[in-house]
Amino acid sequence: MMDKMIFGRFIPGDSFVHRLDPRSKLIFVFAFIIVVFLANNTPTYIVLLAFTLLVILMSRIKLYFLINGLKPIIILMVFTFLLHIFFTKEGPLIFEWKFIHIYEQGLRQGIYISIRFLVLVFVTSILTLTTSPISITDGMEVLLGPLKKFKLPVHELALMMSISLRFIPTLMDETDKIMKAQMARGSDITTGPIKDRIKAVVPLLVPLFVSAFKRAEDLATAMEVRGYRGGEGRTRYRQLKWSIEDTVALLSIVVITAILVYLRS
């Protein structure tokens, strides 16, 4: 079951990008998402593409995983591309067939928007592919730390997040097991008419909920016995270390911003 989920999966490695602190990576991605919107002409989009390519190379992630990451949004990309092509009626007409009229600006905008999608998906995928979910959680907890002053339960949220991450594979296995057990009893959710498939959901969901609650109860007991009573007075075993590379990564964003501001029309 897990094998189908390549998008959002962590691929362990030891590249420059892998070694960065999750905080710098999170800030980087967040800043990048904003910076992307600075691009508005051909040179700026070329710079964006080149920069993204550089990040990909430095992460040493195989293109296979990135292409797979594109799959879920490919339809959205094609749709917006077509939308721009058909509905932007500026610039000279470059193609005409029956009721289809394509203008130069339409084509240009369509390509721009596709590049924008592409670099955003690639860079966020690089974040999740090179950072373990638990490191992302750690980074978020620290970055959101100041919000504790506004009564946001940052520690609790981070703990919830990390426990959910920890239990995803367990629950996936469990789903697979219960599905197989019910299939063996003649109730198949994977084949047959839609009506039967809907009926097969209950025998799958009920046991899954029962077991999830049982696990939650067990886990709560185990945590209590091991002395857990909220974030107060806890120390942290997972330490984050900011290094010179992290500063360099953030500086690169500043440089890119400057270039884009200079080149944009």
Q: Which residues bind another protein (CB under 8 A)?
A: 3-4, 6, 62, 64, 132-134, 162-163, 165-166, 169-170, 173-174, 177-178, 180-188, 191, 202-203, 206-207, 210-211, 214-215, 218-219, 221-229, 233-239
Neighbours of 84 (CB within 10 A): 19
Residue number with CB closer to another protein (113 or 183)? 183
Please state, in angstroms and rounded to a whole number, the distance separating the CA atoms of residues 249 and 22.
12
Residue number with CB closer to another protein (82 or 222)? 222
CA angle 197-201-204, nearest 5°?
130
- Smallest gap from Cβ 61 to another protein, in A, equals 12
Please state, in angstroms and rounded to a whole number, the distance separating the CA atoms of residues 125 and 10.
9
- Smallest gap from Cβ 78 to another protein, in A, equals 24
- 22-35 helix and 104-130 helix, angle to the nearest 10 degrees: 170
Residue number with CB closer to another protein (54 or 181)? 181
Closest CA to 6 of 62, 49, 55, 57: 62
CA R_g for the chain: 24
Residue number with CB closer to another protein (77 or 240)? 240
With a CB cutoff of 8 Å and minimum separation 6, the contacts of 33 are 120, 124
- What is the distance, to the nearest Å, from the Cα of residue 127 to the centroid of all Cα atoms in its chain? 7
- Smallest gap from Cβ 254 to another protein, in A, equals 32
Residue number with CB closer to another protein (2 or 248)? 2
